[in-house]
Structures are given as structure tokens and as C-alpha cells.
Amino acid sequence: MDASLLAPGNAALTVSALSWQGTDASEVDLPVVGVAVGVAPRFQIGASVPYTVGDAASGVAGGWGTTYLSGKIGLVQNDGNGVKLAIAPTIQVLGAGVLSSLSSSESRVTWGLPVSAEVDSGDARLFASGGYFSGGIGFAGGGVGVQASSRVMLSGSFSHAWSSGTSTTSITSATGTVTTLTSDVTNTRSEVFGGLSIAVAPHVGVFGSVGHTIGTTDANGAGLTIVGGLSILAGPSGSRP
């Protein structure tokens, strides 16, 4: 996530497909619909809604996946030196495929507070983000984008996420005594991405990216992610989404 905002009255639409392939599991989301609308000079709202393609053979339940609803606030939007800072309070609504793994005490709706920063020098920009989601999930990452030509932008990024929880194990001895052991558990996931976006017409672009986890166990979602899609910007002024 970068720190750029849409101008008031502008809207951005993205429609994409995502494929993830792990060691013993896979998932395809098609379509993934993203919408963002500039509401005020330093405020925009947005949503991202994926549809998961069901696969009975691999046990993947089809239906609407985890949805994100957010508001993005520009704390710093200094066009003079290209420095930007934004915060994006977010509501996460877990998809049907995740619900089966939740306990009765866990909520389907969680909240998050991502913070993003960006430095734009014209042909290149650096971006970084980090934040927290309720339930003990944290994340941080960053990357660089380079304008290779008037129509082509290349990007690379790294992200790291972690969650902390408690694992409880009950052991029954030969005498019938039950001992309960409780320990802290930390799950981590790290991923590198390379991306390409091409402007095919005024305010219309296509994009694609390939990512792979590094130093991540199969249990934490190790695998390959491929994304491709189309983006459209509409409104009275041509700000970058």
C-alpha cells in the first residue's frame, strides 16, 4: 500500500485475478474487485472484494472471500518534495472459507490500522507500510517503483507478517492424570514481489505481479502468488491511483 490519494471526485476501479499455489493446497480468486473514491482533498474510501473459485478436489469452498473496507487519510501530502504519509483505518470481514477454522469465540469482523509512507522523485518512488490487525497480527514491508518509460512502471517489494497466539495441549498420563500445557506460538510469513504495470490508454492500465514466500513454512502459507488485472481511473482530474 502506498501513501497516494485520489483527488476529490476521482474514482479508481481494479478488476484482477489471483492464483496461489502452495505445497499441498492452492486457491484461485476471480474476480478480485477493488474500488476507491476520493471524497475530500485528504480523504478517500475504498473496498476490496475477492471471489474464491471453489475446488471440491482440494477442499476449497467457493464464494466471496475476505473483504476489506477502508478509509484513507493523508496526514502529509507534500507535492513540493514528494513526501507522503497516510493512515488507513480498515475493517476486515472474513470470507466463508475462513469461518470454518474459527472458534465460537472468534469474531468474523476484525479491524486494522495500516500506516504507509512514500517518497516520490518523479521517475522513482520508495514506499513502505506497516500496521496491526486485531487478533495479534502485525505486518511491515516496503518497496520501490521505477518509471521505465512513459507507459511502463516496474516495481519490487518485500513484506513480512506475523501473528501471536496461544497453543494449549492436554496430555493424559498412564495413571489418568490430565496435564494441560500452554505455550506461546508465533507464525510468520515473508514474501517478495516483482510487478509490472503498463498504460494502454489514458487512465487505463494493465498490471501483473509474481510473488513467492521466503523462509516461510508450509503451515504458514509458503507458496507462489500470481496476480494480473486491469485498472481504470475516472474523474475530473487525472491523479494517479
Confidence class for position 80, pLDDT limits 50, 70, 90: low
Distances (CA, A) of 153 to 12, 122, 199: 18, 12, 9
State residue 204's pLDDT score.
97
Mean pLDDT of 84-101: 84
pLDDT in tens, 28-75: 999 999 999 999 999 999 999 999 898 776 667 788 888 999 999 999
In this predicted structure, the answer to whether residue 138 has a pLDDT above a threshold of 70 is: yes
State residue 176's pLDDT score.
42
State residue 177's pLDDT score.
42
Instruction: Give CA–CA dist 150/144, Å, rounded.
Output: 17
3-state helix/strand/coil string of the chain: CCCCCCCCCCEEEEEEEEEEEECCCEEEEEEEEEEEEEEECCEEEEEEEEEECCECCCCECCEECCEEEEEEEEEEEECCCCEEEEECCEEEECCHHHHCCCCCCCCCEEEEEEEEEEEECCCEEEEEEEEEECCCEEEEEEEEEEECCCCEEEEEEEEEEEEEEEEEEEEECCCCCEEEEEEEEEEEEEEEEEEEEEEEECCEEEEEEEEEECCCCHHHCCEEEEEEEEEEEECCCCCCC
pTM: 0.82
The candidate with the shortest Cα–Cα distance to 225, out of 159, 153, 137, is: 159
Tell which CATH architecture fits domain 11-158+188-234: Beta Barrel (2.40)
State residue 97's pLDDT score.
65
Query: Across the chain, what does the average pLDDT equal?
Result: 85
Share of the chain above pLDDT 90, in %: 60
**Contact (CB, 8 A) for 105 and 25:** no
- Of residues 47 and 26, more confidence is placed in 47
State residue 182's pLDDT score.
40
pLDDT in tens, 106-119: 678 899 999 999 99
Instruction: Give CA–CA dist 195/226, Å, rounded.
Output: 10
Range among 39-53, 88-102, 168-182, 212-226 rated most confident: 39-53
State residue 158's pLDDT score.
96
State residue 163's pLDDT score.
87
State residue 136's pLDDT score.
85
C-alpha dihedral (69, 96, 110, 76), degrees to nearest 10: -30
In this predicted structure, the answer to whether residue 196 has a pLDDT above a threshold of 90 is: yes
Instruction: Give CA–CA dist 214/64, Å, rounded.
Output: 28
State residue 99's pLDDT score.
64
